[in-house]
């Protein structure tokens, strides 16, 4: 039963993973690690299935929960009900959830993040929940005494996190994991303004349909999308999609980049909907700066 749940959980989360690590998928299923960590490593996109007749049995509910990708950003399967869709999503009602409104900062000495991103040809995937770029070659950051490997980066429009109550039209999430399975998210906010050349290269061939993936012709580097000033805010949070796993280190860069209105519109049109989870309660957490 545990193996079945692990496999189905991996299938669900595959839409937020890197195709480059797909060859290791079978090995990850066999690991006794938390399914949400293994799932972020790799698998093929889930192909939506037709909704089947309602069946009240637990096995049928579990099966069709994953094959129909029941969670969404609106309606009955939207963020308010994520925690109730399946027992594996119970963390979505936890006390350390993301995104948040970053405010009430605590002064702290934060060591710089060392970014080690190199240019490379990438693949752009539309998984129905976001558009993301996948790279084959290792890229990583050094932060808080650990090396976190970049798995992929993707976009949310409008932004999920807010800074002092301000929502931005676009936010990029750079998803990292270290050898211990700990997750680290680097977030970059985009304000509407001048066209962003790096973003233009990254989304030059946007796949407009869910499940479609295109290979970008020109080599790109995630580093190009980062502002030159990389000071950041730091808080403990979670994944912003089911299963909403907590214990994620969040690094939100203080400086923003710009993107044109046309670029922001193109990303949202590729998805057909806004893909931001509402901000969650900060509770007892501190936001360091």
Tell me, yes or no, whether 20 and 75 share the same domain: yes
Per-residue pLDDT, 69: 59
Task: Say yes or no to pLDDT of 216 above 60.
Answer: yes
Query: What burial class does residue 242 get, using C-beta atoms within 10 Å of its C-beta: 0-12 exposed, 13-18 middle, 19+ buried?
Result: buried
Tell me, yes or no, whether 183 and 265 share the same domain: yes
Residue 136 pLDDT level (bands cut at 50, 70, 90): confident
Tell me, yes or no, whether 46 and 141 share the same domain: no
Calculate mean pLDDT across residues 16-39. 33
Tokens in use for 75?
């309606």
Per-residue pLDDT, 40: 39
Give domain status of residue 262, yes or no.
yes
Query: What burial class does residue 94 get, using C-beta atoms within 10 Å of its C-beta: 0-12 exposed, 13-18 middle, 19+ buried?
Result: middle
Calculate mean pLDDT across residues 110-124. 94
The catalytic position among 129, 154, 173, 176 is 129
Give domain status of residue 286, yes or no.
no
Task: Please tell me which residue, 15 or 229, carries the higher pLDDT value.
Answer: 229
Give domain status of residue 285, yes or no.
no
Distances (CA, A) of 42 to 28, 59, 201: 9, 25, 24
Give domain status of residue 161, yes or no.
yes
Tell me, yes or no, whether 142 and 210 share the same domain: yes
Tell me, yes or no, whether 57 and 193 share the same domain: no
Average pLDDT across the chain, whole number: 81
Tokens in use for 115?
């970014």
Per-residue pLDDT, 219: 86
DSSP 8-class letter at 286: -
Boundaries of domain holding 157 = 101-271
pTM above threshold 0.75: yes
Tell me, yes or no, whether 48 and 120 share the same domain: no
Based on the residue annotation, tell me whether 273 is a catalytic residue of this protein: no
Give domain status of residue 228, yes or no.
yes
Tell me, yes or no, whether 86 and 105 share the same domain: no
Give domain status of residue 47, yes or no.
yes
Tell me, yes or no, whether 80 and 46 share the same domain: yes
Tell me, yes or no, whether 71 and 110 share the same domain: no
Phi, psi of 6 (to 5 degrees): -65, -45
Give domain status of residue 226, yes or no.
yes
Euclidean distance between CA atoms 216 and 228, whole angstroms: 24
Euclidean distance between CA atoms 93 and 87, whole angstroms: 11
- pLDDT, tens only, 166-181: 999 999 999 999 999 9
Tell me, yes or no, whether 32 and 141 share the same domain: no
Calculate mean pLDDT across residues 221-234. 96
Tell me, yes or no, whether 64 and 153 share the same domain: no
Helix pair 2-13, 58-67: axis angle to 10 deg:
20
Per-residue pLDDT, 220: 84
Give domain status of residue 166, yes or no.
yes
Residue 217 pLDDT level (bands cut at 50, 70, 90): confident
**How many structural domains compose the chain?**
2
Q: Which of 90, 115, 130 is the last residue of a domain?
A: 90
Inter-residue long-range contacts of 236-240, CB under 8 Å, 24+ positions, other chains counted: 236/96, 236/285, 237/96, 237/97, 237/98, 237/99, 237/100, 237/185, 237/285, 238/91, 238/94, 238/96, 238/97, 238/98, 239/36, 239/40, 239/98, 239/183, 240/98, 240/99, 240/156, 240/160, 240/173, 240/277
Strand locations in the chain, DSSP E?
101-102, 114-116, 123-126, 131-134, 140-143, 146-156, 162-163, 170-177, 183-192, 213-215, 232-238, 246-253, 257-259
Residue 132 pLDDT level (bands cut at 50, 70, 90): very high
- pLDDT, tens only, 149-206: 999 999 999 999 999 999 999 999 999 999 999 999 999 999 999 999 999 988 888 9
Per-residue pLDDT, 129: 94
């Amino acid at each position: 039963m545990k193996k079945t749940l692990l496999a189905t959980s991996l299938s669900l989360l595959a839409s937020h993973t890197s195709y480059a690590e797909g060859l290791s998928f079978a090995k990850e299923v066999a690991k006794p690690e938390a399914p949400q960590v293994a799932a972020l490593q790799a698998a093929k996109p889930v192909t939506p299935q037709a909704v089947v007749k309602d069946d009240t049995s637990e096995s049928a509910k579990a099966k069709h929960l994953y094959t129909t990708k029941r969670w969404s950003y609106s309606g009955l399967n939207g963020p308010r009900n994520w925690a109730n869709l399946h027992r594996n999503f119970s963390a979505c009602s936890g006390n350390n959830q993301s995104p948040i409104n970053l405010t009430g900062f605590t002064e702290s000495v934060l060591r710089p993040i060392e970014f080690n991103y190199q240019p490379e040809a990438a693949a752009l995937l539309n998984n129905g929940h976001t558009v993301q770029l996948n790279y084959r070659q290792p890229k990583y950051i050094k932060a808080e005494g650990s090396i976190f490997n970049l798995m992929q980066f993707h976009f949310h429009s409008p932004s999920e996190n807010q800074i002092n109550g301000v929502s931005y039209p676009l936010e990029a999430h750079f998803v990292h994991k270290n050898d211990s399975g700990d997750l680290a998210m680097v977030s970059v906010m985009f304000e509407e303004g001048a066209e962003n050349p790096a973003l233009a290269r990254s989304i030059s061939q946007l796949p407009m349909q869910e499940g479609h993936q295109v290979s970008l012709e020109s080599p790109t580097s995630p580093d190009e999308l980062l502002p030159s000033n990389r000071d950041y805010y730091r808080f403990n949070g979670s994944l912003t999609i089911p299963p909403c796993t907590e214990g994620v280190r969040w690094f939100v860069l203080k400086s923003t980049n710009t993107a044109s209105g046309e670029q922001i519109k193109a990303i949202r049109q590729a998805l057909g909907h806004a893909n931001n989870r509402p901000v969650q309660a900060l509770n007892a957490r501190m936001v360091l700066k």
